[in-house]
Structures are given as structure tokens and as C-alpha cells.
Amino acid sequence: MKARYQYRLYPTDQQKRLLSHLFGCVRVVWNNTLAYCQELYRQGEKKPKYTELSKRLTQIKKTEEKKWLTEVSSVPLQQSLRDLETAYSNFFASCKGERKGKKVKPPKFKKRKSKQSARFTDNGFTVNQHHVTLAKIGDLKVVWSRPLPSKPSSVTVIKDAADRYFLSFVVEIRPETLPNNKQTVGINLGIATFATLSTGEKINAPKPLKKRLKRLRKHRETFLENRKEVNDGKKPENKWLKSTQKLKTLGLISCINYPLELFVKIKR
């Protein structure tokens, strides 16, 4: 079973410039290829396969106007093509009714102000006890908040809207196998008590949001205090960006004008 393990990253100023250049190259490859596919669609032609798009990228990198794409590792550029291929496959499967769940929209162009990311497969990075080495970026300082359970197959370097950097690893984990004690138990779900077992044991409902109410109130106040200045075109403060990112992560940004105590009732 695959799982993601994410860690905070603290690049140097030089590495930030290299990562910014890498993000820009990945974004250009995505947008350029997407525009090419859309133009073929308007002409009534089929979308090219990944192998054809990969050959096209190789030719583009040889041109004078796009030769700067060779300054970064080719691994994340190829992964950008694969991501676009996956996005189109999910969209077509959704249109045909072959994909369950919510309808998938077609791929969109990426913006510079959105979250930036670049993915490296195992031939583009190495991991050791102290740092992670990315191709053509160098050794990056990582905060290992927990150990990796196994050797990662890929890593995605991410920069969010609050100018924070992260590394997200994909690893293979083995689910814990519990012994079969040949016993059964009945479970009754309720409102006042989350669950009551046939053994008489009661399990109270977890309320993680209520415990973090004070912290959420602080993020909400920071967001509301600076929102008018941002809407007037002023550059947002870093703490406002962090609070905005936190509220987006918690899914509360769309209902920010409601009393915070209401969120606890909704999330129960």
C-alpha cells in the first residue's frame, strides 16, 4: 500500500532561486503542452500519447528560445508530461462514465501565483540521514519529523502560497496485520456517545476541531484584519498568507464570515 510522508524543507537563498527556476520550467512545459493538445483538438485531431509529447519536448529544448529548459533536471519535466497525461485520462474516463465519483474537469493552465511543485522519481534524488539531494539543486535541509518507513519511489518538492517549502515522499507501507482472536463485538453508533460496544465499553466522539478552536480563532482574526488591505491591492503580510493557507487546508476559507463557534457544530 502506498502512502505519502510530508516534511518541512528549508532551502538556502541560492536553492530557492534554483527551485523557482525549476517550478517555472515545469509550469512552462505543462502550459505549452496543454496549449498544443488543445490546438490539435480544435483541428479535429486526437491527443498525442506521452511518447510523442516526450519527443516533442526534446525538440523544443533544442530551440534557441527554449534552451533554458536544459538548465534544470529533465526528470520533473518528464513527470509534468506524465501528470498531464493522467489528467487527460481521468477526464476522458469521467466523460465516458468509466470513473466513479464527481465529474472530472479537463486540465487547466497553471498560474505562477498558485501552488508550485515538481516531482522527482528515484533516479532524480537521493535520501540520507541529514538531507535530500535533488538533481541540479543540491543538498536540501529537511526537518525529519518522523522516519521514512521504506525507500521512497518519488518525491515532490512543493512551495505553497505562504512561501513555505515541503518535500512529499511516496513510500510503500505494509498494513498492520492483527491476530484473529475469534471474538466478535457489536457496535452501536450514537450522537451523545460516538459508539457503544456490546461489552459495555463506551467510546466518546473525537472533537479535534474543538480542541484547536483557539488557534483557529487566531488564524481567522488575522485573515479578516488584513483582507481589506489585500483586496485594495496592497502586498499581503506573510502571517496573512500563512493563516489563509491554514484555513484553506481546513476547508474553512469559504465560510470565514460565519461565527467560529458554528464550525464546531458543523464538524461534530
pLDDT for res 264? 47
pLDDT for res 266? 44
- Phi then psi for residue 77, to 5 deg, are -70, -40
For CA atoms 41, 45, 46, 50, the dihedral sign is: negative
Residue 87, exposed/middle/buried by CB under 10 A (0-12, 13-18, 19+)? middle
pLDDT for res 253? 53
How far is 28 from 34, CA to CA, in rounded Å?
Answer: 10
Reported residue count of the chain is 268
User: What is the phi-psi region of residue 44: left when phi exceeds 0, alpha when psi lies from -120 to 50, beta otherwise?
Assistant: left
Domain definitions of the chain by residue range = 2-171, 208-267
**Pairing mode, if any, of strands 195-197 and 187-189?**
antiparallel
Looking at residue 248, its amino acid is: K
pLDDT for res 7? 96
pLDDT for res 176? 82
pLDDT for res 228? 62
What the block records as the C-alpha cell of 15 is: 536553492
What the block records as the C-alpha cell of 8 is: 518541512
**Model pTM?**
0.74
* Per-residue pLDDT tens listing for the chain (268 residues): 899 999 999 999 999 999 999 999 999 999 999 999 999 999 999 999 999 999 999 999 999 999 999 999 999 999 999 999 999 999 999 998 888 888 999 999 999 888 899 999 999 999 988 899 999 999 999 999 999 999 999 999 999 877 889 999 999 998 888 888 888 899 998 888 889 999 889 998 877 666 666 666 666 666 666 666 656 666 555 665 666 666 666 555 555 555 555 444 444 4
Q: 133 Cβ partners below 8 Å, 6+ apart?
A: 125, 126, 127, 139, 140
pLDDT for res 206? 75
- Element spanning 2, H or E: strand 2-9
Q: 160 Cβ partners below 8 Å, 6+ apart?
A: 115, 166, 245
- Phi then psi for residue 197, to 5 deg, are -90, 155
Q: Which of 115, 108, 119 is nearest to 245 (CA)?
A: 115
Distances (CA, A) of 150 to 133, 170, 180: 17, 9, 27
Q: Are 38 and 121 in contact (CB under 8 A)?
A: no
